[in-house]
A and B are shown apart, each in its own frame.
Chain A
Amino acid sequence: MLGFLSDYTIQNVALGAALLGVISGVLGCFAVLRKQSLLGDTLSHAALPGVCLGFIIAGARQIGFILAGALVTGALAALLMLLLTRNSRLKTDAGLGIALSVFFALGVVLLTFIQSTGNASQGGLDSFLFGQAAAILRSDLWVMGVVTAVALSIVSLLWKEFKLVSFDPVFAASLGYPVLVLEVALTVMIALAVVVGLQMVGVVLMAAMVIAPAAAARQWSGRLETMVILSALIGMASGISGALVSALGPGLATGPLIVLAASAAVAVSLLFAPGRGLLWEIIRRARNRRNLRGKRVLTTLYRLAAHHHDSGYPSEQGMVDAYHGVGTTPVLKRLQARGLVEPVTHIPETTPHWTLTQAGIEEAESILTNLGKQES
């Protein structure tokens, strides 16, 4: 096991995955909060022509050129999207889709152009489509590390501005912040995250890495500070676990596994996060429904007693069942456990009967009074 972890390639992959998780987790928060989740998808597909251009210019698989190219075309695609949606009647979704598909098509054209020129070292380019974590070199990690560090320092320097623009751009503009510049900056930074993820998960799956950690973190916290830190941790954890699992067997591609790990984090968060978790909501609803049934049965007993002018009136259970249309045994048992009702016999009948205790009468009266208050 220890030998497995000290493997050079696996160390590289895990480090790369961790870097990717941190940068996409942090920047993804802003994208998700600004309702631009699919921007990551567009920017990552649009990185493909840049990868090819970087390769053509450098003449070989030089990571610096390739990532710079990816950043440039990603930014260009974002600009095209803005240009189309601001100056025509096309909506955001169409703008995103146009930038995505046309830039990707351009990438495919350039890819085949490189293939047709018969460059021997073009084999590495395919890995940018789906990611090939095992092909990552230590020198690539340095580049990825520097990009991550730059992005994180920009976020911490412009923290207040980014926060304001994400939550209330109109207010930010009224305070005199350069909203457009800040928005463009956030967009370009997502392109930075995409650039880091290209080798790990590839252009196709980067969308998930921008959205998933942020969406998971959102469930656990309502504060941006906590959310960003959590998102970075979730991104890192899913990156490392996906990378390690992929090292276990042949044919287990790293990118899909990282994405599945991050998506599993989303599923767990959606279900179990305190407060927002769906499971808690289901339990809360079931409890409310049970409470409501208890209250209804209790007030039924109270009304029957009042109708007969007898506070100790023994109501027959069959009658209560018929009145509510369901079996009320569990409800009555629960009320009995709370000391609000007690079973009585009503000779000569043999069927179960129930009567209210003093506490039950008080409870029923308080329910009915409150009910009246809400109605008026």
Chain B
Amino acid sequence: MLMALFQTPSLMIVMTGALVGIAASLLGTFLVLRGSSMLSDAISHSIVFGIVIVWLLTRQQTGPFQIAGAALTGIFTVFLSELLASTKRVKNDAAIGLVFPVLFSIGVLLLNVYARDVHIDEHMVLLGEIGFVWLNTLDIAGYPVPQALLSMSLMTLLNLAFVTIFFKELKLATFDEALAKALGFAPVAIFYALLALTSATAVAAFDSVGAVLFIAFVIVPPSAAYLLTDRLTLMLLCGSIISIASSISGYFLAVAWNVSIGGVMAVMTGVFLMAAFLLGPRYGLVAQILRRRGLEQSNECRTLAVHLYNHEDQPEQAAENVTRALHDHLMWDEARATQVLIRSIDQGLVTRNGDLLQLTEKGRAEARRILEPWRMAGA
């Protein structure tokens, strides 16, 4: 039974993709909230440098040395960027954009010169191929477990443990760094630990999805989750769910179209983001437009109520509080005036008495609340 599962390539691929997504979005959530998501871009490029250096030293392409090396490279990249920015000669974003291309360039040159006939090349590092993860397996208790699945499971567990254990510290360091510092929570150490884990996850993920597609998993699912919820725990959960959904849907679409599986998985995160951007319950574009329209409509009804209130029981009432006057005095065209009137009657603000428009008690209260708020406070 279990044997059959491990021998199903599609399941192994989807699971690896989902694990990359979960591991990445757990950490990405904090990077996105902190406003430093582009650091993941810098890190995932510069780990090429770390991978080559570790390979030159140990001749190992994967494994714990590579992961540790990547973690160090990530920290090194961010440290160099912050050092450069601290000279105040270049801006923060320019510093990031200056450091990682240098490390990447050195990495690529070293690869070209020393490692021409080795299986690591910059295409592999940048693009990866998740479709082949099931080829490279390790025997664990007799089961052929794909190596990528194993390393991603470990990274996911590690990231999950980090986020769970340091949840309070992470939360405080992300939302109020100054307070975290004042309370002695070492936000800088937490931040660097986060980046070290991001780099380690990147190198564990690079042979399945590649470095650039890894960036998609770090930034896009947490961003989509950020558009859906205000609670940090929910955001972490939403990010993971979106990652899983992207992995599953990406796999099947990629197989149907016969294109890069990792690529479609990353594109799917973008599709979910756009869905959240358009249809999110509170921050979605549609919800925003609806809310704005609702506000506009209720303002129109309130305008009508105030207009009627001003002329109520006045001599000019017969001329002012009729449908015609809405067109002449409030500059509403026929259709709009009719709509507002219908809506106001529906809401029980206004009644129609022959030609005359009369406020109901509710409508009068509404107008008074706008015109004489001090009276309402007393009443």
**Chain B contacts for A108, CB-based, 8 A:** 127, 210, 212-213, 260, 262-263, 266
With A105-B267, A106-B267 as contacts: A40 and B97 at CB distance below 8 Å: yes
Q: Are A93 and B89 in contact (CB under 8 A)?
A: no
Q: How does the 8 Å CB contact mask read for A13-40 relative to B, with 1 for contact and 0 for none?
A: 0000000000000000000100111101
Q: Which stretch (A158-166, A247-255, A323-331) binds chain B?
A: A247-255
Q: Are A253 and B270 in contact (CB under 8 A)?
A: no
Say yes or no: is A211 at the interface (Cβ < 8 Å to chain B).
yes
Q: Which stretch (A94-102, A137-145, A187-195, A339-347) binds chain B?
A: A94-102
Q: How does the 8 Å CB contact mask read for B242-268 relative to A, with 1 for contact and 0 for none?
A: 000000000000100111101111110
Closest residue on chain A to residue B101 by CB atoms? A208
Closest residue on chain B to residue A95 by CB atoms? B223
With A45-B212, A88-B277, A251-B112 as contacts: A112 and B102 at CB distance below 8 Å: no
Say yes or no: is A132 at the interface (Cβ < 8 Å to chain B).
no
Nearest CB of A to B115, in Å: 10
Nearest CB of B to A81, in Å: 12
**Chain A contacts for B94, CB-based, 8 A:** 32, 37, 211, 215
Nearest CB of B to A96, in Å: 6
Q: Are B109 and A87 in contact (CB under 8 A)?
A: no
Closest residue on chain A to residue B105 by CB atoms? A256
With A89-B283, A105-B263, A259-B105 as contacts: A84 and B277 at CB distance below 8 Å: yes
Nearest CB of B to A325, in Å: 30
Provide the bound-state CA to CA distance between A90 and B94, in Å. 20
Q: Are A89 and B37 in contact (CB under 8 A)?
A: no
Provide the bound-state CA to CA distance between A219 and B94, in Å. 13
Q: Are A116 and B219 in contact (CB under 8 A)?
A: no
Q: B36, B89, B227: which contacts A90 (Cβ < 8 A)?
A: B227
Q: A84, A263, A278: which contacts B87 (Cβ < 8 A)?
A: A278
Judged by DSSP, the binding face of A is: helix
Nearest CB of A to B290, in Å: 14
Provide the bound-state CA to CA distance between A259 and B94, in Å. 14
Task: Give the interface centre of B93, B259, B273 by most chain A CB atoms within 10 Å.
Answer: B93
Provide the bound-state CA to CA distance between A339 and B112, in Å. 63
Say yes or no: is B96 at the interface (Cβ < 8 Å to chain A).
yes
Say yes or no: is A53 at the interface (Cβ < 8 Å to chain B).
no
Given contacts A88-B283, A259-B102, could you give 15 more A-B pairs where the C-beta distance is less than 8 Å? A37-B93, A88-B227, A89-B283, A90-B223, A93-B35, A97-B223, A101-B270, A109-B260, A112-B263, A129-B126, A130-B122, A204-B126, A215-B90, A257-B105, A263-B105
Can you list 5 A-B pairs with a CB-CB distance of less than 8 A?
Answer: A38-B38, A91-B32, A102-B267, A102-B273, A116-B259
Residues of A participating in the B interface, judged by any CB pair closer than 8 Å: 32, 35-38, 40-41, 45, 84, 87-91, 93-94, 96-98, 100-102, 104-113, 116, 126, 129-130, 204-205, 207-208, 210-212, 215, 218-219, 251-253, 255-257, 259-260, 263, 266, 270, 276, 278
